[in-house]
Chain A
Amino acid sequence: MLTVRVIPCLDVKDGRVVKGVNFVDLRDAGDPVEQAKVYDAAGADELCFLDITASHEKRGILLDVVRRTAEQCFMPLTVGGGVRTLDDIRQLLLAGADKVSINTAAVENPDFVREAAEKFGSQCIVVAVDAKSVDPGDGSDKDGADKDDAPRFEIFTHGGRKATGLDAVAWAKRLCDLGAGEILLTSMDRDGTKQGYDLPLTRAIADAVPVPVIASGGVGTLDHLAAGVRDGHASAVLAASIFHFGTHSIAEAKAAMAAEGLPVRPVS
């Protein structure tokens, strides 16, 4: 049986980990490669690097990080942040990334997703979907525009500041039609809150698309991970701070999910 993937995510800026683990025994705790090795040994199922370097000129630094990681970690690696052109994707894949995550560029130019999937195959094209609740579906929407008053979510860019008018479910379905192989779904309402994934959002998207959905944004406890799969219907769970700050280990995350009856790959 396929297991639920537990994916730690590292924020990387100028080749250094911004939000990362406080492992005392690391020679260089700011080096993403050192942290990747720790997660590799800890039994993480995939790794995700999110590059938040502002300047495109410093792209070479990220590529070097990816290259060094791929030399030492024989596990799947997804890299996102600033992926805007086919050449960006090619360079990341050649450096050793297995998948790239496209974010803003998909909203600005949906055809880019199609071109990327045709060129490199859907299996390596992850599209990051950042959504916010715009109608909780609790009857509070009184303007009559929303007849059934179902919950509604909208796509936001620029860290949740810029509304796009795109309905999240319709958008996710369109991305799959364009060739996205996986959806990395982040709730902008929950991100950083430690209140748990936005389960209605996760379920709405996961039930609507044929491809795997990675739940992201808001994990504060181990219970939240299991809920993302059991109630959110996600195929994989991504988290940052609960792992980085040493609150919980990958093994604890998997044990908690196994206790909920979810299939996980045992940590060897």
Chain B
Amino acid sequence: MEFLAIGIAIASASFGEALVVKATIEGVARQPESAGTLRTLMIIGAALVETGIIFAFILGLLLWIKM
């Protein structure tokens, strides 16, 4: 059951991360000179989105150990 939790979290969070990268690529394609700023923003955004997966992973591990 706890693995299902990780799976749902990964499915939704990877969709969110895809949105972040998509927006960045569109921005760079429109304005190539702003690539540096956009890269920094993309890494922050992707890391913040990833936090959800990581929390789900830690919770899953805790549930698994308790089993």
A, B: real partners: no
